Structure 1
Amino acid sequence: MGARLAIIGAGPAGLATARAARAAGLEPVLFERKTELGGVWRPGDGAAWAGMTTNLSHQLCSFSEQAWPERTRDYPFQGEVHGYLSAYASGLSPRYGCAVSEVAPSGDGWAVTWTEAGREHREVFAAAVLASGVFSRPWMPELPGSFAGESLHSSQYRGAERFAGKRVAVVGMSFSGTEIAAELAGAGVATTAVTGRPFWILPRYEGGVPRDLRGMTRRRQQERTRLPRAAANRAANTRYDALGGNPGRFDSRLALDPSSTEPPHLVTSDRLPGLLAGGALRIAVGHVTALSPKGLVLADGSAVDCDAVVWCTGYRPELPLPAPLLAEISFADDCLQPILLHGCTFHPALPGLAFVGVYRGPFFAVIELQARWAVEVLAGAMPPPAPEVMRAGIQSELDIRLARPRPQFPHGDYVGFADRLAAEFGVLPSLDPAGEWYEQLWHGPVVAGHYRLRGPGANPELAARQLRSAWERVGRRPG
């Protein structure tokens, strides 16, 4: 094996990086503080619970080198995702029970300090990758007052059974909040969803096909980018209203304006509309400003009485970097854009260090692209981006952080973001209309296999299998 590469975190990003490193002839040393791989999808104490499914259909939660088992459901449960990641990790040997406390420059390399079995260790590696994700530290607001009941973060939620006979308030109605509120209400638990803002509630399927597979295409992306941002936002809001996603039909306080030019915020759920329409799930609108012994106090002074609160209020990343390096990457307690990096991967002041999966976005193709690009650079197979290119990229990320109104995701243009990363290291597929795969590449969902057709790490046979599979799922003839 070649030079040793330290990789922090054995979730999807760390596993993808280790696979890429091994393929490049490096020796990946994969540190994981827990006793099992999987990150969010880790069984037992991961952020996902057994009844949680992926937000995206499994074709978009797929690495190019690992096929899902035949007849996998469109939206796999936590255990199925963990099984997929375990199969993907075959041949890797994560070092479990290693809590990394610092990654810092040391000579021409990077020193990693960690605790294992109660003892502190330190080793210097040729390069390092931080792949610990953005779900490192559950975040809950600090509020005045005190609550006499049970209070837990969504990362601690494990199912509806423990809440039988209780009144539960679920604070936050993004993806995890929506799923938890729907699961509780569907199980007969008296549930109130507390939301500070309305979200479009969209069905998972469109014409019998997962809606994301129809939307995450280059053709749709081009349609969006041809419009000025305000017009593109209005078009999206109008489309979501036409799909019946306006929550105002359940509660007038949640009504969204389909002609709005603000960025749309959305959730996908097949259960939520029925529960709201039937009254099984109640809604409280407003921000929580204080706690009371009996429950929550909202900004308008109204109260939500409950026996338990599930806080679906997000996460903040924890990065084991010295304070000067955190300042260098503009680390901030910001739920949208906590760090500023070129392509969410590199910083010109940190040669030999890369970041993979440390951004808010669940698409495995992007994670794999970051991992492959990082390894190509860290292995010396290609130069890093020029400093001026990286500075321009960092400015773009700062623009996202400062955007008002704020988008739901820093890179909601998944297709455009993936293609920009692919172009950085020469794996963007040819979009020549005369090309063999043009129809699939232009009209089909953008999956990780698109980026195995050419360039470093190309595997056209593997790519063809994934392109055909995704094409067939959207009801098109194989190419």
Structure 2
Amino acid sequence: MALHLAVSACRRRSRQLNAQAPREVGTVIVGGGQAALATGFYLRRAGLTPGQDFVILDASDRPGGAWAKMWPTLRTFSPTQHSSLPGWMMPPWTADDGYPLAAHVVDYLTQYENRYELAVRRPVRVTSVRYGDRGRLAVSTDHGDWLADNVISATGTWSRPFIPKYPGHFAGRQLHTAQYRRASDFAGQRVMIVGGGNSAAQILAEVSEVAETTWVTPRPPRFLPDEVDGRALFEIATARRRARDAGQTDTGGVGGLGDIVMVDTVRKARDRNVLHSRGPLHQLTKHGARLYDGSQVDLDTIIWCTGFRPALQHLAPLDLRGPHGLIPTEGTQARKEPRLHLIGYGDWTGPASATLIGIGQTLRTLPTTIK
């Protein structure tokens, strides 16, 4: 009898805890990476208090956002002086022409978070954003619920790796950029790298030193001039956005210039004569792949460097998605729900907004729309 009463009491307490009223706050920021931190900086500078007027909820258990999950030898596309968030310059990286490794960026983001006392709550996973009571948005998490006047989604793309579908089946090992850690894991293997962007070029540069590599791309890879880095790309992307907004002819932006930044490791791979694409992939086979030129390649591993998709699952209850699965925006605001902002997902939420240098420019007018 006593045991039954004790169990019943525990169940009542559990129901009471689960039924606790949502906490109320002006703004909830979903995510804890570079976009969320830059957002917190601007809200703080506008006079809002972290932890009181706004909260930052990060699903990760440590600072650094996606940079903390990337492979250790990944480099930024710009030197430190052009890879900083608003308010505080990234400390210099003196090696490798000034292009820092991922760990340097993680350290910078960790210090940035502490410097501005942004009070990030982690690990807190946001499961959904819904329409709430009294004209507010309800944010559900695995650590309780919130009611907010505004929600800023800054979850990025890293948690949603994309692998295209091809006919056939490959029996060997397959992994995505998000799972890649080090070239030595593929020593002595036959490896195919799929993709024509920066990640593919950097991974190819590393893996080709220890393995037999095949590079396949949907179109011939386009390399930027050696002197062009992330800052130049940001300036070009910004100029394109301004021209389009003014109704002028679309210049094509960075697409007319190239895709791949020639960081030190990629330049060295060029000098080793390994930056050659075999063309598009046609289909997979049990032991390899068949290319569009009709040739067949035997493989041990395929590394898919085929990009990511925006992590927007938590916003599904708002039913705001438009063509291609994206939420139409005006600047950073969702057109159909102005209390929702989307930050840092790429050009559709601001020129180069998925980059360290670009996110600050995107956010300059944000505080004027946050009450």
Band the TM-score falls in, shorter-chain normalisation: 0.7 to 0.9
Secondary structure class of the residue paired with 2:277: strand
* Counterpart residue number, 1:305: 298
By how many angstroms is 1:194 displaced? 0.8
* Counterpart residue number, 2:329: 341
> Judging changes above 3 Å, is the alpha-carbon distance between structure 1 residues 128 and 215 closer, same or farther for their aligned structure 2 residues?
closer
AA aligned to 1:109 is: R
* Counterpart residue number, 1:110: 137
By how many angstroms is 1:274 displaced? 5.1
- Tell me if the contact between 1:15 and 1:89 (Cα under 8 Å) persists in the aligned partners: yes
* Counterpart residue number, 2:365: 373
> Judging changes above 3 Å, is the alpha-carbon distance between structure 1 residues 308 and 61 closer, same or farther for their aligned structure 2 residues?
same
Equivalence map 1:69-148=2 (5 Å): 69-70=91-92, 72-73=94-95, 74-90=98-114, 91-106=117-132, 107-116=134-143, 121-148=144-171
* Counterpart residue number, 2:7: none
Number of residues paired by the alignment? 328
Secondary structure class of the residue paired with 1:366: helix
Secondary structure class of the residue paired with 2:139: strand
Distance in 2 between the 1:139 and 1:71 partners?
32
AA aligned to 2:191 is: V
Secondary structure class of the residue paired with 1:83: helix
Equivalence map 1:5-404=2 (5 Å): 5-23=27-45, 24-26=47-49, 27-42=53-68, 46=69, 48-70=70-92, 72-73=94-95, 74-90=98-114, 91-106=117-132, 107-116=134-143, 121-185=144-208, 187-205=209-227, 211-213=229-231, 229=249, 263-269=256-262, 270-272=264-266, 275-276=269-270, 278-280=272-274, 283-286=277-280, 288-321=281-314, 323=316, 325-326=318-319, 328-330=320-322, 332-333=324-325, 338-343=326-331, 345-360=332-347, 361=352, 362-379=354-371
AA aligned to 2:77 is: N
> Judging changes above 3 Å, is the alpha-carbon distance between structure 1 residues 203 and 303 closer, same or farther for their aligned structure 2 residues?
same
Secondary structure class of the residue paired with 1:84: helix
Work out the percentage of aligned pairs sharing the same amino acid.
29
Secondary structure class of the residue paired with 1:87: helix
By how many angstroms is 1:282 displaced? 5.2
Q: Residues 215-270 of structure 1, C-alpha deviation per residue, up to 9 Å, x if partnerless?
A: 7669x959x969x858x56xx99xxxxxxxxxxxxxxxxxxxxxxxx844421124
Structure 1-normalised TM-score? Answer: 0.62
Unaligned runs of 5+ in 1: 238-261, 380-479
- Tell me if the contact between 2:83 and 2:90 (Cα under 8 Å) persists in the aligned partners: no
By how many angstroms is 1:9 displaced? 0.4
Distance in 2 between the 1:168 and 1:196 partners?
17
By how many angstroms is 1:37 displaced? 2.3
Distance in 2 between the 1:367 and 1:273 partners?
27
Q: Residues 277-326 of structure 1, C-alpha deviation per residue, up to 9 Å, x if partnerless?
A: 6444553111x232211112223432222110100011111214554634
Unaligned runs of 5+ in 2: 1-23
Distance in 1 between the 2:145 and 2:108 partners?
32
* Counterpart residue number, 1:467: none
Secondary structure class of the residue paired with 2:328: coil
> Judging changes above 3 Å, is the alpha-carbon distance between structure 1 residues 375 and 196 closer, same or farther for their aligned structure 2 residues?
same
* Counterpart residue number, 1:463: none
Distance in 1 between the 2:112 and 2:77 partners?
20
By how many angstroms is 1:374 displaced? 2.6
By how many angstroms is 1:377 displaced? 1.1
AA aligned to 1:170 is: I
Secondary structure class of the residue paired with 2:66: helix
- Tell me if the contact between 1:329 and 1:347 (Cα under 8 Å) persists in the aligned partners: no
AA aligned to 1:194 is: V
Distance in 1 between the 2:368 and 2:188 partners?
55
